[in-house]
């Protein structure tokens, strides 16, 4: 199992299993970025229509606090097309996890970035694929940003 961000290891594997969120939604279909991106954008437009200014989802774990998407799209566009497609496949599962999961995430305090906290949620799709959702929280303001979504393993 690779080391999580920040170099911290969790030696208790059983603890990880109890933190899994089981999604009802399926990952997006397709293998190419050109096939997956329109599906993800359609889903994101629905979220945009429900919000007044900046798109967000309300998180069950953070007591219905807003989680914004600004960093997610910037981070995603820094990746190669193959990696973008691999990550975007889990976009609907990540939204469901953020909205419905009340399970505590792994929390990381970065030594090089003392102004932020990273929370890593882990979920399982209905076909058994494990994925991770990383949320970055600003310590001073408390604002939360979806940072990344990626499959594990």
Q: How confident is the model at residue 18 (pLDDT cuts 50, 70, 90)?
A: low
| Residue 126 lies inside a defined structural domain of this protein | yes
The pLDDT, as a whole number, for residue 15 is 42
| Residue 12 lies inside a defined structural domain of this protein | no
Q: How many domains does the chain have?
A: 1
| Residue 93 lies inside a defined structural domain of this protein | yes
| Residue 60 lies inside a defined structural domain of this protein | yes
| Residue 14 lies inside a defined structural domain of this protein | no
Q: Domain span at residue 72?
A: 20-45+55-151
pTM: 0.83
How far from 130 is each of 40, 58, 117, 145, 150, CA to CA, in Å? 19, 22, 23, 21, 9
| Residue 6 lies inside a defined structural domain of this protein | no
Tell me which residue of 59, 77, 72, 94 sits closest to 145, measured CA to CA. Answer: 72
| Residue 28 lies inside a defined structural domain of this protein | yes
| 133 Cβ contact list (under 8 Å, min separation 6) | 94, 97, 98, 120, 121, 122, 123, 146, 148, 149
Q: Lowest mean pLDDT of 1-15, 77-91, 132-146, name the range.
A: 1-15
Mean pLDDT score, 78-107: 94
| Residue 15 lies inside a defined structural domain of this protein | no
């Amino acid at each position: 199992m690779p080391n999580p961000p920040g170099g911290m290891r969790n030696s208790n594997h059983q603890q990880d299993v109890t933190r899994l969120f089981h999604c009802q939604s399926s990952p997006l279909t397709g293998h190419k970025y050109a096939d997956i991106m329109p599906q993800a954008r359609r889903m994101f437009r629905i979220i945009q229509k429900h919000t007044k200014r900046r798109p967000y989802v309300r998180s069950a774990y953070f007591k219905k606090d807003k989680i914004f998407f600004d960093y997610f799209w910037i981070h995603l566009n820094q990746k190669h097309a193959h990696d973008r497609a691999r990550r975007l496949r889990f976009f609907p599962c990540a939204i469901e996890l953020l909205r419905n999961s009340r399970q505590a995430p792994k929390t990381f305090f970065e030594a090089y970035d003392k102004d932020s906290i990273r929370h890593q949620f882990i979920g399982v799709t209905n076909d058994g694929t494990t994925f991770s959702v990383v949320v970055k929280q600003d310590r001073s303001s408390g604002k939360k940003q979806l940072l990344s979504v990626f499959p594990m393993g």
